[in-house]
Amino acid sequence: MGSDSRYATKIQADSADKEYVDPCSTTGCMKGRGAWGCVFFPVVLLWQSVNIYFIPCVGIYLNRLATVGEKGLCCLCVLFGCWRFKDTEFVGDAALGDPVKYRDVEWVRAREICKGLEPGKNPKLFAGKIEPADLRQGHLGDCWLLAALATLAEHPVAIRKCFLNREYSSRGKYRVRLYDGLKRQWVIIVIDDYIPVKKGTKDPIFVKPNGEELWAMLLEKAFAKFYGSYAKLSGGQEIGALFQITGDNCFSFRSVPETKKDDGYWKHHWVRHDPKFMFEERDWVSFERSDEEIKDDRFFRIMLQYNHKHSVMTAAFMYNYAKSDPELQAACEDRADRWGLVPSHAYSVLEVRRAGTSLGMGGVRLVKLRNPWGSYEWKGKWSDGSKEWTENPEIAKEVGYVDDSSDGAFWMSFDDFQDFFREVQVCDRTTVEDLRLDVVEDSAICGPTIGCVGGCIGFWCCCMGARTIYCGNVTKAETEKAAGCCTTV
């Protein structure tokens, strides 16, 4: 890519520090890297299945036993409430960051917030599947963070990997892993489960729980501590949250509109992590534009490549160039409303497809998006219930079209996509370590065992182990090159 070589070198060095494993080393071989990792693949797969599922399962049961033992030895502490963990570093007005704005606030344990929790039962860290519907924004301008989490809900293992805890902590102590782009290393954020609520109520003033699961509230609190306070989460970059959660390379493509002299094209932008570009301590996200001009069909093929790699993609519907002209901005917003889109709003890119290639003419270029709100969808061509689906039943079958206008997900043609969306952000997510023990917390005592057995069945019987370890993606500093026109996935 045509970008500053010093910056490209620095990003590659960052990636090497995090990702590179010598394929000739024992560690590299046992992770399936290099020639020896392929030669000894039966041993590699056996070790990985034990390391991913069995050892953590045993560890969870040992931790539960240790917790019971601690309660027995410290019965007086439990009786007087001293046994539960309390974070003395991140508490009160300093944690809120704006005591005037949030003056009628008190802190309560997370279990007191969960509605519908039966007496004697504990809340869950993760209750069932991770879904965008798990996120309900409060009185904090951190929609950038929630939009990133809603996008990552399509890749739930990325969220689960943030938590070193695999289930609800009866002590209320959680360890969350985030990547610090300034230090160029992972950092562990230790938090308790005290959540700020409106005084006299159990209503959280920030992210609200969906039922009895806690992950969204706790992850928001970890970000608040990472940034310095809840107030510092007001305003930010979605791509920054994606980077801090995954630690993988991120970049942006921005549309340059067509003019009388030039056709429209897309510009690639590097995400910079250089402290000298920061405005605040953690406001590290800045962009450096490359010299490369990417025409629309080539850009579509690049999006196809990232879709095939299960990368995280978001699309921003922006008319920033109209803000200097109030009349033009009003006209743009009215046009967006008529077509069911929200200006200055980020959407998750779920799929990119060149459908119907068997019908000739190169197929139809389609993009599937989701509004994080879970409602308010596109009303144009290829929208839910549009005539294009009834006129092209083969394409509907190929892409798995479902007519549901209430889920926030919708298809649109790539031509319409380019007409409305001005920025696409990509997180080239590493997927070779996507296998993880899923503790089925609803099953209480048997949860870890069920998760271990289910994980091993998927690992061996469904070939998920071999596919993930040997065919998964490793993040790269360079952007993907456009594939040939025959790419259909």
- SS3 for 376-440, per residue? CCCCCCCCCCCHHHHHCHHHHHHHCCCCCCCCCEEEEEHHHHHHHCCEEEEECCCCCCCCCCCCC
Helix axes 238-246, 215-227, angle to 10 degrees: 100
Structure tokens of 327?
């009349």
The secondary structure of residue 481, as a DSSP letter, is P
Question: Which burial class, exposed, middle or buried, applies to 228 when counting CB atoms under 10 A from its CB (0-12, 13-18, 19+)?
Answer: middle
Question: Using CA atoms, how far apart are residues 305 and 292, in angstroms rounded to an integer?
Answer: 18
Structure tokens of 428?
């080239």
Catalytic residue among 210, 307, 371, 473: 371
Q: How many residues does the chain have?
A: 489
Q: Would you give the end-to-end CA distance of the chain in angstroms?
A: 24
Q: Any catalytic annotation for residue 310?
A: no
Contact 132, 146 (CB under 8 A): no
Question: Using CA atoms, how far apart are residues 187 and 247, in angstroms rounded to an integer?
Answer: 11
Amino acid at 294: I
Question: Using CA atoms, how far apart are residues 372 and 160, in angstroms rounded to an integer?
Answer: 19
Question: Which burial class, exposed, middle or buried, applies to 108 when counting CB atoms under 10 A from its CB (0-12, 13-18, 19+)?
Answer: middle
Catalytic residue among 122, 308, 345, 485: 345
Contact 427, 240 (CB under 8 A): no
Q: What count of other Cβ atoms lies within 10 Å of the Cβ of residue 21?
A: 17
Structure tokens of 452?
């271990």
Catalytic residue among 29, 114, 143, 427: 143
Q: Any catalytic annotation for residue 143?
A: yes
Mark out the alpha helices in 74-119 (DSSP H runs): 75-79, 92-96
Contacts of 403 (CB under 8 A, 6+ apart): 384, 385, 389
- What residues act catalytically? 143, 345, 371
